[in-house]
Amino acid sequence: MRAINPATGELIAEYPELTDAEIDGKIAAAAGQFREHRASTFSRRAAWMMNAAKLLRERSGTYAALMTAEMGKPIAASEAEVEKCAWVCEFYAANAERFLADEEIASDAARSYVAFQPVGPVLAIMPWNFPFWQCFRFAAPALMAGNVGLLKHASNVPGSALAIEEVFRDAGFPEGCFQTLLIGAKKVEAIIADGRVAAVTLTGSEEAGRKVGEAAGRNLKKVVLELGGSDPFIVMPSADIAAAAATAVTSRTINNGQSCIAAKRFIVHDDIADQFEKLFAGGIEALKVGDPADRSVAIGPLARPEFVDDLHRQVTESIDGGARLITGGKAMEGKGFFYQPTVLSGIGPGMAAYAEETFGPVAAVIRASGIDDAIRIANDTRFGLGSSVWTNEPEEQRRFASEIEAGSVFINGMVKSDPRLPFGGVKASGVGRELAEFGIREFVNIKTIWIR
């Protein structure tokens, strides 16, 4: 497995893949450790999880530099990601016991209650775009619930994958509680089928989600899927247009535009569309693109060269279909995998930027005639992850909150994940939830206890 610096195209490090025998040994260690870990107390697990948070903060500089080198995230964003991982560790250390406490239920029994008990080793198939956060938001609740974790990380961030295992090991979690599997995608199906693996979670593409969901279903394994998104960002006339445009710039370009919950489709009311486009395009053009290790840089490279090619295809196909290029629209010359921050206007049905997820710094502006039209356009997608709506009209807020088909609706704010709030999507954006109380209950046996 090879880690390539996307800002330079140079090799960082190369790691051998696990053999089948090594994979079997790690699964056996996970299954063996589960029998002990499930019997540990919440207070013991919480102490280890708090140690993990402490180590993350102590090593923030090292881990942030690693993420920036492996996938091109701006260094300040990498540091913020490490801090967010520490937060989720602290959140579940403080709340897991309460979230999983027995619930008394009145029935015809002398006593009846619901218990929430761990299920076993959970395989996590995680993406490269948030190489620490995606893993910790799975691992913190899973380990606090008494499960153990097996991480199959993206092949281009092997250093991050090993560093995450290091954090949990150094924090005091026993050997076998959390293990990284340096393997390719072809090995995943056999691991899902292994009887010692209890469940599987994936954050990734729609295609990957379908394959993993099929394999999990075939083997009757619980699965959580957090997949792609083509999030709408709706701006209505009553909004603070300047604030909406400024937030739109951040929302579209966060993580170099490579985020499932980054705004992709900017649905703007006709009455204020010209004003919004001018402010939005100006903000996009002001962003500095370059070496993500430079703190003055806002946008770094895409993670792999093929992502540049696919993004450019979406842009050119949309322009050929009638879209208007406001700014950007080309791959950047020189070393690394860079694409110009781009704004397309006049986007409509049939165009790639309308129907597909654009995973990079490309924004599609779509005009709407009113609230009914805005809701129709927002829902005219196979995805349903997040959504951002900008309006100060209470009735419009109520309708958007009720009628947009998505896992979340953020009103007058940017979509974000937060350990305190459930995260996930509907339609082709996935099944199940992560974070909050809902996330920790995904991988437990919800057991009914009835006593006469």
Say whether 226 is catalytic: yes
Counting Cβ atoms within 10 Å, is residue 437 exposed (0-12), middle (13-18) or buried (19+)?
Answer: middle
CA–CA gap between residue 52 and residue 435 (Å, rounded): 18
Contact 29, 39 (CB under 8 A): no
Which is catalytic among the residues 90, 226, 396, 442?
226
Which is catalytic among the residues 70, 79, 260, 356?
260
Q: What are phi and psi of 12, to 5 degrees?
A: -90, -50
Say whether 89 is catalytic: no
According to DSSP, the residues that pair with 225 across neighbouring strands are 202, 431
Sign of the torsion angle spanned by Cα atoms 284, 345, 379, 384: negative
CA–CA gap between residue 444 and residue 452 (Å, rounded): 25
Residue from 265, 263, 258, 145 nearest 201 by CA: 145
CA–CA gap between residue 23 and residue 274 (Å, rounded): 57
Residues taking part in catalysis? 226, 260
